[in-house]
Amino acid sequence: MSILRRLTGSRPAPQASALQLDGPLAQRHRLRVVGEGPDLLVFSHGLGTDQTIWNPILEGLPDRYRAVLFDLPGAGPLLPDDFDPKAYDTLDRFAEDLLALFAEVGITRCRYVGHSVSGMIGALAAIKAPDLFEQLVFLNASPHYLNDNDYVGGFEPEDIEGLLLRMSGHYEGWVTGFAPLAIASDLPEAIREFTAGLLAMRPDVTIQIARTIFLSDVRSRLGKLKVPTVLIHSHGDIVVPDAVAHYLSRAIKTSRLVWIAARGHLPHLSAPEEIRRVLHVHLS
């Protein structure tokens, strides 16, 4: 029985009551818990999506897991009145938020699955507080998006500035063009879902967070990451080229690289059955 089906039961498991779900940060991040297992598995999404992107993945998780899901700052249209996207000008700020959320909720040990930018957010959090993380799983993550000498990040500085200008000039038009490229497969439903996620965000928020992501550089700190890490990558990713996956596998000494039978930057949206399979195999 999957944890999604078990969620429909009327009596919560004893372990679930140990997590504090009514604090201000839990409310702010719209945190929810799915399942009753003893082992915590935290899911964190990427730009242009929210926690619901993981719903198809939850169906296949073993019963021993309890999934914790939340929205990153800036996700969706329902933002706090005091939300300031300019406060999130580094990935460290996101990592600090993650650790503060863990402290409030009472998460003292977990496995963590992060897509795209949430991979490096999880890496920074695990470097600062390694005892909180038993295992990290990064899905199509990148430590740096700009080409730099022999490092192939995928973009030149003028590419990023041009992208941000297009977002500022005609946000809906940019979304319409970008979503199919990111999905990288002829999957109309997946394209529509990613398009809807991007359009649900405030354009100024998307632009500011995109700037933070694309100009971030975590490479110099990866050697400090000691938590066992699984790097899941798909080919044909317009955002994260294959060379980045190989770089991460060399830079994170505790990592193993897994290539999956899917394309594009959002394989958990375009090929959820493949992500369920690989998580089942590689979650320790």
116 is catalytic: yes
Q: Which domains does the chain have, with CATH numbers?
A: 3-282 (3.40.50.1820)
> Which residue in 29, 45, 144, 265 is the catalytic one?
265
Burial degree of 8 (CB within 10 A; 0-12, 13-18, 19+): exposed
> Which residue in 233, 237, 255, 268 is the catalytic one?
237
159 is catalytic: no
29 is catalytic: no
Reported as a pLDDT band with limits 50, 70 and 90, residue 78 is confident
> Which residue in 116, 118, 185, 270 is the catalytic one?
116
Closest CA to 260 of 279, 241, 244: 279
**Helix spans in the chain (H):** 3-6, 24-28, 55-58, 91-105, 117-128, 157-169, 171-183, 188-200, 203-214, 242-251, 267-270, 272-282
Q: What is the pLDDT of residues 14-38, one digit of tens each?
A: 344 489 999 999 999 999 999 989 9
The mean-pLDDT minimum among 3-12, 14-23, 112-121, 261-270 falls in 3-12
Q: pTM above the 0.75 mark?
A: yes
